[in-house]
Structure 1
Amino acid sequence: MTQVKICGLSEPATLDAAVAAGADYVGFVFFAKSPRNVSLEQAAALAARVPDRVGRVGVFVDADEALLGGAIHAGRLTAIQLHGADPAQAAAARRRLGIEVWAALPVATRADIERAGAFRGAADRLLFDAKAPKGADLPGGNALRFDWRLLDGVAMTMPWGLAGGLDAGNVAEACRATGAPLVDVSSGVEDAPGIKSADRIRAFVKAVRER
């Protein structure tokens, strides 16, 4: 069964909707430039609503040690998702923090996909996401998708997931085209940047489960 991560949650009502819909993971963004950013206090309040069966993933961009440690504690995180980290940095964080590490890889070409092999043994999961436009403030959550055909014939040697431009209308096709064991959505379940929709969340999870 394809797993589902609903990322960028910041309000109790939509967090509850994600859990009730059957999401396997919820994501909290700790990046000040993001419209989905949450404080440690917000993360703690949200995490308290999440049952243990649902993973809690913190999303970070070039975060320092203090933020990582504080967020792991406040959000009761089960994994950290690192944007902009190279294999050495991912491995160091995994070793130092003792937590599952997901490495987000921005994709525009086949060469970007081929970088994945360097993370074997350094991260616990890879997340292939669309490369952000030049000059963009956010490395992800830009409602962009990459050409899924770039994944054709790639032998995955570790757990991975697909992100970038997914929504209820295309996620079933994405699953069929790529065989992704996990799909990650953020902007695709929003009414506006940072404003999640409970209806869109339910529709997304339903589309994955019923494909």
Structure 2
Amino acid sequence: MKHQQNVDEIVALGLDFIGNIFFAKSSRNLNSIIHTSATKVGVFVKESLVIIKERITEHNLKVIQLHGGESNEFCKSVKNLGVQVWKVFSVGDDFESSKLKEFPDADLFLFDTKSKAYGGAGRKFDWSLLKAIDKKTPKKYFLAGGIHPNDAKAIKALQLKNIIGLDLNSQFESSPGLKNVEELKTFLVELRS
């Protein structure tokens, strides 16, 4: 999210987190300071610890989401900066749950659709894979990747014990970085009912 007025409208819907993308190759890359009462999540791809530290200070980030194949040691270094670390995993049919145990220093996980780019490119992975992942994951997690405004019922039907949040991204946007407030509001009403 990169437009202040849009952030204000979204936060008014009762969302807990606002994602700020810090990846120059993304059309959602943040170039200004956003003010919000929601917890700010900085999203990084293969970024240096020095730059992450600068962005934490400049943008008052409380959570860092790592998308670039970072190691547990890197997660630990970021966590030592005084923030939570959310480690992203790309899920496809060949996903190996055993690798989750290699990240004890991540505070939680985010499962996104496997793609050639970073992020799920607006596509879902096979959510039936979550049943096995949910049983094996040592951490709570967020679901991401192609979640659509019409998916509230399907998400509620998953009934997974470790899922604690959703990363609502491109399918809820009017344009990159600009959320459609009405679609989001409708989705949240259905999800919370």
TM-score (norm 2): 0.89
In the alignment, the residues of structure 1 paired with residue 27 and residue 52 of structure 2 have an alpha-carbon distance, to the nearest angstrom, of 19
In the alignment, the residues of structure 1 paired with residue 53 and residue 141 of structure 2 have an alpha-carbon distance, to the nearest angstrom, of 24
Q: Deviations over 1:53-99 (max 9, x none)?
A: x211000001113321221112211110001212222122212x121
- Indicate the SS of the match to 1:185: coil
Alignment partner, residue 6 of structure 1: none
Kindly state the Cα deviation for residue 110 of structure 1 after the two structures are TM-superposed.
5.1
Residue among 83, 86, 90 paired with 1:99:
83
Kindly state the Cα deviation for residue 33 of structure 1 after the two structures are TM-superposed.
0.8
Q: Is the 8 A contact 1:148 1:178 kept in 2?
A: no
Which ranges in structure 2 are unaligned for 5 or more consecutive residues? none
Asked if 1:11 corresponds to 2:11, the answer is: no
Range 22-31 or range 193-202, more displaced? 193-202
Q: Is the 8 A contact 2:147 2:171 kept in 1?
A: yes
Q: 1:91 to 1:178 in 2, by over 3 A?
A: farther
Kindly state the Cα deviation for residue 152 of structure 1 after the two structures are TM-superposed.
1.2
Alignment partner, residue 61 of structure 2: 77
Residue among 169, 173, 191 paired with 1:190:
173
Q: Is the 8 A contact 1:30 1:37 kept in 2?
A: yes
1:171 counterpart letter in structure 2: A
- Indicate the SS of the match to 2:143: strand
In the alignment, the residues of structure 1 paired with residue 109 and residue 71 of structure 2 have an alpha-carbon distance, to the nearest angstrom, of 12
Q: Is the 8 A contact 2:113 2:120 kept in 1?
A: no
1:189-208 pair list within 5 angstroms? 189-208=172-191
1:131-146 pair list within 5 angstroms? 131-132=114-115, 134=116, 136=117, 139-140=118-119, 142-146=121-125
Which ranges in structure 1 are unaligned for 5 or more consecutive residues? 1-8
Residue among 144, 149, 154 paired with 1:173:
154
TM-score (norm 1): 0.82
In the alignment, the residues of structure 2 paired with residue 78 and residue 190 of structure 1 have an alpha-carbon distance, to the nearest angstrom, of 24
Alignment partner, residue 128 of structure 2: 149
Kindly state the Cα deviation for residue 207 of structure 1 after the two structures are TM-superposed.
2.9
1:83 counterpart letter in structure 2: H
1:148 counterpart letter in structure 2: W
Query: RCO greater where, 1 or 2, for CA within 8 Å and sep 6 or more?
Result: 1
What value does the CA root-mean-square deviation take over the aligned residues?
Answer: 1.7
Q: Is the 8 A contact 2:114 2:120 kept in 1?
A: no
